[in-house]
Amino acid sequence: MTILRDVDISIARGEAVAIVGESGSGKTTLLGLLAGLDVPTRGRVWLDGDEISAFNEDERAQVRARAVGFVFQTFQLIDSLTALENVMLPAELRGERTAREDAIRYLERVGLGSRLKHYPRQLSGGEQQRVAIARAFCSEPQVLFADEPTGNLDTKTGHRIADLLFELNHENQTTLVLVTHDRSLADRCQSSTELAAGAVIA
Amino acid sequence: MNLRLILNFILSDWRSGELHLLLIALAIAVGTVSSITLTVDRLQKAMTKEASVFLGADRSINSRKPIPDQFIQEASNRGLITSSMVVFNSMVLSSADNTKSQLASVKAVEANYPLRGKLRVAEEPFGPTTETTEIPNPGEIWMNSRLLYILDVELGDQVDVGYAPLTVSGIIESEPDRGFSMLDLSPRVLMRMADIAATQVIQPGSQIDYRLLLVGDDPTFRDLYSAIEADLEGYRWRNVRDSDARIGRALERAESFFLIGGSMAVLLAGVAIALSANRYARRHFDHVGILKTLGARPRAVLWGCLGLLLLIGLIGIAGGLFAGAAIHFGLVWYLTEHLLTNVTEVPPASITPVLTGIVTGFICLFAFALPPFLDLVSVSPLRVIRRDFRRAGVSSLITYTCAITGILGLLIWYSGSWSFTLWLLLGIVAVTVTFGTVAIVLLRGGRLLGMQAGSVWRLALSGLQRRNVENTGQIVVFSLVIMLLMILYLVRSSLVEEWQAQLPADTPNHVLLNISQAQRDDVAQFIDRYASDGDLAAFYDGRVVAVNGEPVREYQRRWLNMAGPRLSSGRNLTWSDEVPANNEVVEGEWWSPGTEDKLVSVESDYARGWGLDVGDVLSFRIQGQVVDVEISSMRALEWNENAQFNFFFVFPPKVFDEIPSSYRAMIYVPDEHRSELSQLIARNPTMTVIDVDSIIKQVQSVIDRVTMAVEWILILVLTSGALVLLASIQASRDSRIKEHALLRSMGGTKKLILGSLTAEFLMLGLMAGLVAIVGAELSLYLIEEQLLEFEYATRPEIWLAGFLLGGGIVASVGYLSTRKLVRLPPVTILRDAG
């Protein structure tokens, strides 16, 4: 089965790109390949100067730890960790000592300075996604991959989250790859790539 | 929900692998229980049958009075096979030379004797023996080799028993029901019941032992027993267990062991079912939520759940019975192939074990799996909107009541004993509460901040703490399993050790009696050369006639409450210059070798019981002469030591200077020197030889068989233990998948995650091991002292085993069963693996 075919895109440093398309068009698969979460059966992927499609699992993990941040549709916070601990996680993985101060700074930046010790269960959906955004930016990644970041939120909250995402992206000069089916969200990016049935149509 | 929907559910769950563990747990529960009960059932029957050769029958009725025809009639009416027998002592004379005579133990039997076991006969005196199914024809007689020597007769010659002339037509060396008494001194003679009348030996007042041998099945025996019970006054109803205390004890303890082992298997399987049912139900909250939003009413969900459970039950139980039968037939094949020698056919299985398996399966399923399934009924449809919506949940009270009631009923039914069940359950509840508390304390100590993903060990430790509720459960379960395994293994070891200690490999297999002074050196030389272990001692018959000049009967009267052996009875006496082996002088002093003083050394318990002290003077009558001796020492000795002769009274050699002595020897002759033994016997035909070899070998083989069965049970229980381990690891699988995927999306390497997994399970295992060790020591103390009546001693090997089992097994099972999760590409995080 072929999920993606003849996809040839390049994304410049600092650019914000949307990948749009219907459900099942292959958006999420493409994101996974770009972020080095998976490798293509054929074809090549470069990230931050490395040909990650030629790397093995652990080498790609190192690239991710160094250069990549994620925001997921379903937030993906660890239930047994507090907001602060969740945000500290990527820095811990890199073995950084300053994790705590950075994490507090970013949580304050997303407006959750007073909820550091709360567990995900005690937070609303919007708040959970803010924690996830703080976690993504806290490691100061070169590229941020966001997979339907507002997909699980109501319109109003979704707007606020999107604002926050673009603000932080602008502040940190991060490259943003945003997967969404939401046209209005895609329009806020500098460019967008549309997929249909595994092929780029625009 | 209709049946089709339920079937669809099951099919899709099966395809997705959701159902595997629950079904396997159920199948293993049923399989273990049914194969254990099936095997124990048949093995017990086979072993009882095997052991019944010691009785020559399944039951016997013994008496000094003739067995009433009514008994025989009642037995035959019920379809039991009967065989009558009389045993008495009588002089046997050579018809050719009436000066040659010997007191013999005559056994007169019917044509179908023996009902169990085989006779062993020899072609020539002291020659090699073979089994036979024949017995002497009417008018004929078979006798021991040594009787042939003493009477100086050959095969074909005639001897007289009482007034009956009988032709010697065979040499009998052993019968299955000879008994294990070494004091059964008279040589054996075997003849037909039909010839008894002609001997005219049976007169009013003569000492005759009447026996009725019976063969049949247990229910018929119970029926017969109750029919004749009122008339049994003066008759002894004997079963296999009465025939040999050692075998009886071995069988009883093996049964206790099977009972403990079986109960633990049921418990473990129940825990495995509860764990996997719980996980299964949790994963279906969403489905049920959806069904409810679609309009399914709680009642429909309830019936659906029950139907689902029933179907799972049927499939699991059928699989379990199949597996149980397969294991069982394997076992039976193995046991008959390697163990059973006297019984070629294992008795058929009864239906009970199959029923046990089915009932166990349903009780386990409903006690352990119903509560989590009922949780499904109460799932709120709101869950569809918010996945983390907290369920109302069946109260934990109901859950525990269900599980405890189920397990209680099962154990009582299984063990047939309220007190055993209550103790076991109390123990387990106490252990769970204690273990749980200890586990929480171990886990909570110094909560780490964050996930500590920088290092393998700290990541593992934080993982342990973050999942502390699950982990407390796992530690309790792991430690219970490890503890149960250690307990079973160690109880098995003590059982086997004790059985084997009763009959060490070099247990004397021959007793030589009536060795004259002239023959002594020949025997001593034989012992030196061919017997690997032996004891040769002088024997004198004698008795105490006075204590400090007071006639012994009057002295004895003052010690009315003394229950032990009497002071006035005839005793075996001996002399020795040295303290006998395994004896210890506890009071007074041993005499210097060659002393001319008239002294005696007395066994200390016996002396104390009769108020005797060092310095007291005892008068003995020894073969017609009265000798006064002074008590010079007391000896403590181990009476159970069966490799040597033990004496209450030991004298210096000079005391017996003018008294003719005879010797006895107890020796172990290895098989390869049996021909030298035959030569020794042929050179000294007046010597009496008792061959206990075949009896010892029989006892040994029964004990070996029981040991083997016990080991098999252990393996089965071990399997259910491993399953519980797997089920409980599986239960934490979902939260692990999510964490691993997330960590890896953020750049955590496989090495980090695998390392921390292994470390986490290792720590979990070590904690569980520690808790299990303490629990095992405590329970062993209770089990061994209370149930099996052993002496308890702490065992250092438990500590090593606990940590090895805990750390090693939990770490490797944990690693192996979660390793696959790490292999999933991290892209699963995008597909919402949580």
Q: Which residue has the higher pLDDT, B651 or B716?
A: B651
> What is the rounded CA–CA span in Å between residue B86 and residue B91?
16
Output the average pLDDT for chain B. 77
At B373-403, the pLDDT tens digits run: 777 777 766 665 555 544 555 566 777 777 7
| A166 token code pair | 């673009």
B648 contact partners, CB below 8 Å, separation of at least 6: B565, B571, B602, B603, B606
Name the strand (E) or helix (H) holding B585. strand B583-588
Residue with token string 């200390």: B604
Answer yes or no: are the C-beta atoms of B201 and B88 closer than 8 Å.
Answer: yes
**For residue B158, what are the β-bridge partners?**
B167
Residue B685 has phi, psi (to 5 degrees) of: -65, -20
> Packing angle between helix A125-138 and helix A83-94, nearest 10 degrees?
20
How close, in Å, is residue B27 to chain A by CA atoms? Answer: 35
The tokens 């998976």 sit on which residue? A38
Cβ separation B830–A92 shorter than 8 A: no
- In this prediction the pTM is 0.59
Interface contact flag, B827 A92, Cβ < 8 Å? no
Q: Which residue has the higher pLDDT, B249 or B544?
A: B544
- Minimal Cβ distance to B830: which of A32, A57, A63: A32
Q: Which two tokens mark B646?
A: 């033990």
> Percent of chain A scored above 90 by pLDDT?
15
The predicted pLDDT at position B44 comes to 65
**Cβ-based neighbour number of residue B197 at 10 Å:** 11
Instruction: Please report residues of A whose CB lies closer than 8 A to that of B752.
Output: 93
Instruction: Indicate whether B444 pLDDT > 50.
Output: yes
The shortest CB-CB distance from B745 to any of A28, A64, A84 is to A64
Amino acid A183: pLDDT: 86
Task: Measure CB to CB from residue B467 to each of A38, A68, A80 and give the nearest one.
Answer: A80
Which whole number is the average pLDDT over B163-189? 74
Of B56, B153, B66, which is closest to residue B101 (Cα–Cα)?
A: B153
Nearest by CB: B750 against A35, A57, A63: A57
Confidence of residue B32 (pLDDT cuts 50, 70, 90): confident
| A–B interface: beta-carbon pairs under 8 A | 96
Q: What is the pLDDT of residue B632?
A: 92
Cβ B751–A58 below 8 Å, yes or no? Answer: yes
Whether the Cβ atoms of residue B770 and residue A117 lie closer than 8 Å to each other: no
Mutation choice for A interface testing from B745, B752, B824, B828 by most A CBs within 10 A: B745
Collapsed DSSP state (helix, strand, coil) of residue B87 = strand
Q: Are B122 and B145 in contact (CB under 8 A)?
A: yes
Which pLDDT does position B169 carry in this prediction?
A: 92
pLDDT above 70 covers a percentage of chain B that reads 77
Choice between B154 and B724, residue whose per-residue pLDDT is larger: B154
Q: How high is the pLDDT of residue B834?
A: 36
Band of pLDDT at residue A29, cut at 50, 70 and 90: confident
Write down the pLDDT at residue B246.
Answer: 59
Cβ contact A81–B454 (<8 Å): no
Average of pLDDT values for A78-102? 82
Cβ distance of A85 and B834 shorter than 8 Å: no
pLDDT, mean of residues B581-601:
87
- From A66-70, B32-36, B223-227, B811-815, the region with the lowest mean pLDDT: B32-36
Number of other residues whose CB lies within 10 A of the CB of residue B109: 23
Q: How far apart are CA B18 and CA B22, in angstroms?
A: 8
8-state DSSP, B580: P
Query: Taking CB atoms and an 8 Å cutoff, what residues of chain B touch A88?
Result: 450-451
CA B110 to chain centre: 35
Contact, B601 vs B649, CB < 8 A? yes
Q: What is the pLDDT at residue B763?
A: 85
And the tokens for B742?
């997330």
Q: What is the mean pLDDT of residues B132-143?
A: 91
Q: Which of A23, A71, A89, A92 to mutate to test the interface with B (most CBs of B within 10 A)?
A: A92
At B696, the pLDDT band (50, 70, 90 cuts) reads low
Of all residues in chain B, the one with the smallest CA distance to A80 is: B466
What percentage of residues in chain B have a pLDDT greater than 90? 8
**Mean predicted confidence (pLDDT) in B150-170:** 89
**Span A91-119, mean pLDDT?**
85
What's the pLDDT tens digit per position in B465-521? 777 777 777 777 778 777 777 777 777 676 666 666 666 666 777 878 778 888 888
Residue B142 reports pLDDT greater than 90? yes
Q: Among all chains, which residue has been given the structure tokens 């993906």? A: A76
Return the residue of A nearest to B469 by Cα: A80
Backbone torsion region of residue B452, taken as left when φ is above 0, otherwise alpha when ψ lies between -120 and 50, otherwise beta:
left
Q: Which residue has the higher pLDDT, B346 or B321?
A: B321
CB pair distance less than 8 Å for B450 and A92: yes
The pLDDT value given to residue B46: 65
Measured between beta carbons, which residues in chain A are less than 8 angstroms from residue B388?
A: 121
| Strand residue runs (E) in chain A | 16-21, 46-47, 50-51, 68-71, 143-147, 175-180, 191-196, 199-200
Nearest CA of chain B to the CA of A57: how many Å?
A: 8
pLDDT of residue A17: 93
pLDDT mean over B206-220 = 85
Query: Of B449, B453, B831, which is closest to A93 when you measure between CB atoms?
Result: B453
- Residues from B contacting A (CB-CB < 8 Å) are 388, 449-454, 466-467, 735, 738-739, 742-752, 825-827, 829-832, 834
Residue B602 — pLDDT band, cuts 50, 70, 90? very high
Residues of chain A neighbouring B739 (CB-CB closer than 8 A): 78
Is the predicted pLDDT of residue B597 greater than 70, yes or no? yes
- With a cut of 80, say whether residue B153 has pLDDT above it: yes
In whole angstroms, what is the distance from residue A162 CA to residue A60 CA?
28
pLDDT at B450: 59
Q: Estimate to the nearest angstrom the gap between the alpha carbon of B615 and the chain centroid.
A: 48
Contact B451 A78 (CB under 8 A): yes
